[in-house]
Amino acid sequence: MAENANPQPNENLVRVFETEQEAEAMVVRGLLESAGIDAEFGESENAEVLPVGAVGVLVREEDAEKARQVLEDYRRSPQQEDAEEAEFDEAAMGSAIEDPEAEK
């Protein structure tokens, strides 16, 4: 976790992520904390209202840019996922062709 794990009452918190899935918010919080950024669930004081049932992930204002970069680096588009899966399939097929005795 970050050095100052508990935000002070006078710190400005910024919402960097929101979702309707609590499990997804927990994963995002864990990802940020593993990067050394303290995160908590809630709503920042100056943000618009979240939809009913939505969960916001908040970080200190000075950590917001780094947090957004961590999240951006982690996200993959469906096209990226498809390309990675195709590369994996090609590699798997290539190793099976190279070693036909592996199946015996």
Whole-model pTM: value is: 0.60
Q: For residues 73 and 49, give the distance between their C-alpha atoms in angstroms, rounded to a whole number.
A: 27
CB 56 within 8 A of CB 17: yes
59 beta partners: 14, 39
Residue 55 tokens read as: 């969960």
Structure tokens at 44: 């920042």
Digit-coded pLDDT (tens) for 45-94: 544 555 566 888 999 999 999 999 999 888 876 777 788 888 888 887 77
Domain ranges in the chain are: 13-98
Distances (CA, A) of 25 to 40, 60, 104: 9, 17, 46
Query: Rounded CA gap, 28 and 30, in Å?
Result: 5
Please report which confidence band the pLDDT of residue 2 belongs to, taking 50, 70 and 90 as the band edges.
very low
Give the CATH class of 13-98: alpha beta
